[in-house]
Structure 1
Amino acid sequence: MIKLKPLSYFKTVVELGSVSAAAERLYIAQPPLSKALSQLEEECGVRLFERSSRGMTPTEAGHYLYQRACTLLQMTAEVEEEMRAFGEGQRGMLRIGTVSMGIPRVGQMMQAVRQCLPELSFSLYQGDTGYLEELLEKQRIDLALVHLPLTSSEVPNRMIPLAHSSFRALCHPGSPLAQYSTLNLKQLSLYPLTLLRRKSGFGVYEQVLQSFAKRGLKSQVFADASDIPMMCYLAQQNMAVALLPV
């Protein structure tokens, strides 16, 4: 099997035309270099050089091997550089999960990362917090933008708070609530609501109900949903007021 180092030696000898010049360029002694060239000829089974007092001239086989060696060594250098970039996180794929309301923030983050790491690509996943926690546990995503609280003790505890969640009420333009710029829970308790609910675990749905209960108010949950577009549809049809975490 032909190894890369002898090919590199061979390429240098062809380009400089002599063993002495190549040895000086490669910072090695002439005897080891001559031995490496002889072993390369034995491995190839052909003579690679015409040797004369004027120097080393490649044979037809030597010219062919030189062309292939240039290609192979260039490819090897590129692969090494690419692997180094992967190791330093400059290339590869970043797998990001996000809840629906986190999509704009993810977009901003992707733009910022791409400016620093133009070779990095992304794979995006969208779902509720419980689903994204599951993907993190299975190491199918690298990071996730989620709503607190987390439910799984298996998720790595490297957590960075980005912002405190607030809520926006989405209602039909004809709703009496549409005239207000801000709303309180007492006002909302008078209307049917649609709330975001996780498929499992404690989340936004339970937090909202607790907030009503702490104030002695009874909420009117018309429908819970795991899909924000469905909540928006119910609000547009004047069937419920959608409380959306932002």
Structure 2
Amino acid sequence: MDMRQLKYFHTIATEGQITKAAKKLHIAQPPLSQSLKNLEHSIGTPLFDRNGRRMELTEAGRTLYQRCETIFEFFEETLLEVQDTGEGMRGKLSIGCVKSAFSHIPRKMKRFGENYPDITFELKEGDSASLAEDLKNRRIDFAVIRLPLELDEFHHKRLPVEDYVAVLPDEWLVEGDDNTICMELLSALPLLLLRRTSGRGQYELILDQVKNYNASPKVVTMCPDVDMILELVSEGVGAAIIPELAYQKHNPGKVKMMKIKEDTLHSESAVIWLKDRYLSKSAQKFIELFDKEDEME
């Protein structure tokens, strides 16, 4: 049994037909059929029940199919680890990031690219819950997320704490001075809040605080995208409560930022990566840059 035979078997099982699998693999049907026959002979048991053109996995086939993803991942990580014993600093680095914390990334990419020009970056945007799933499924190397998030399966490095701020349409007049707003007034406004697609996150934390001042706040929009939230603020739809760094990097104009008088709302971000996965040398080096954040300001 070799990796090519396993790949062929996995594709046949996924497609359910030799014909479709051959097209997907860009090879002719006879050598694909022969590869499967050789694999079944080496294992000593059939892997498929042939039902006309349709092929259904036997019990042995289902066992092998379930193990294939693990075998492929182990092979890829072993190859990566072996490559890292040499130069190592080449290839692709896949980074996930929530949009509201993306400002942590660009300067580091610039410095890293200057030091390691053979690295290609692949960026993926998502909310914290979806990026955690991407890590578990080995689709990215590490991610910058907003807490809270269950971290049992991840190594993590916490980033500096940020204050939440209120962002209002320019034309709205509120009581108090020009730079601050109290939670009592803020909680009475129509609110636009960031909310991840699954799990407990910023939305629930903010809403819990708001309800201390207004038992029935009017949340007019929930959305995982900070740009969309701020665009709605600029059109006068409502007021947003977002991390200050997100406002600074995504300000669309026609809005004003106000500090929240009560010092009760703070946002934490973190870099996370899987505990049970080999982390490439390039990913390790990039994550180290988060310890040098102040040097890049």
The answer to whether TM tops 0.5 is yes
Which segments of 5 or more consecutive residues in structure 1 lack a partner in the other structure? 1-82
| 1:148 and 2:129 are equivalent in the alignment | no
Q: Residue 185 of structure 1 aligns with which residue?
A: 183
Partners of 2:88 and 2:201 in 1: CA distance: 33
Q: Residue 238 of structure 1 aligns with which residue?
A: 236
Q: Residue 226 of structure 1 aligns with which residue?
A: 224
**Structure 2 counterpart of 1:164, from 128, 153, 161:** 161
Paired AA for residue 140 in structure 1: R
Q: Residue 173 of structure 2 aligns with which residue?
A: 176
TM-score of the superposition, structure 2-length normalised? 0.50
Partners of 1:201 and 1:243 in 2: CA distance: 19
* Deviation of 1:84 (Å): 5.2
The structure that has the greater radius of gyration is: 1
Partners of 1:203 and 1:89 in 2: CA distance: 36
Partners of 1:215 and 1:190 in 2: CA distance: 9
* Deviation of 1:218 (Å): 4.4
Q: Closer, same or farther in 2 for the Cα pair 1:84/1:197, shift >3 Å?
A: closer
Equivalent pairs counted in the alignment come to 162
- Say which SS state the counterpart of residue 146 (structure 1) adopts: strand
Conserved 8 A contact 2:187-2:213: no
Which segments of 5 or more consecutive residues in structure 2 lack a partner in the other structure? 1-81, 246-297
Q: Residue 30 of structure 1 aligns with which residue?
A: none
Q: Residue 206 of structure 1 aligns with which residue?
A: 204
1:18-97 → structure 2 map (5 Å cutoff): 87-97=86-96
Conserved 8 A contact 1:151-1:201: no
Tell me how large the CA RMSD over aligned residues is.
Answer: 2.3
Q: Residue 138 of structure 2 aligns with which residue?
A: 139
Partners of 1:200 and 1:177 in 2: CA distance: 34
* Deviation of 1:89 (Å): 3.5
Paired AA for residue 126 in structure 1: E
* Deviation of 1:228 (Å): 1.8
Q: Residue 121 of structure 1 aligns with which residue?
A: 120
Identity among equivalent pairs (%):
30
Q: Closer, same or farther in 2 for the Cα pair 1:152/1:134, shift >3 Å?
A: farther
Tell me which of the two structures has the higher relative contact order, counting C-alpha pairs closer than 8 angstroms and 6 or more residues apart. Answer: 2
Conserved 8 A contact 2:101-2:146: no
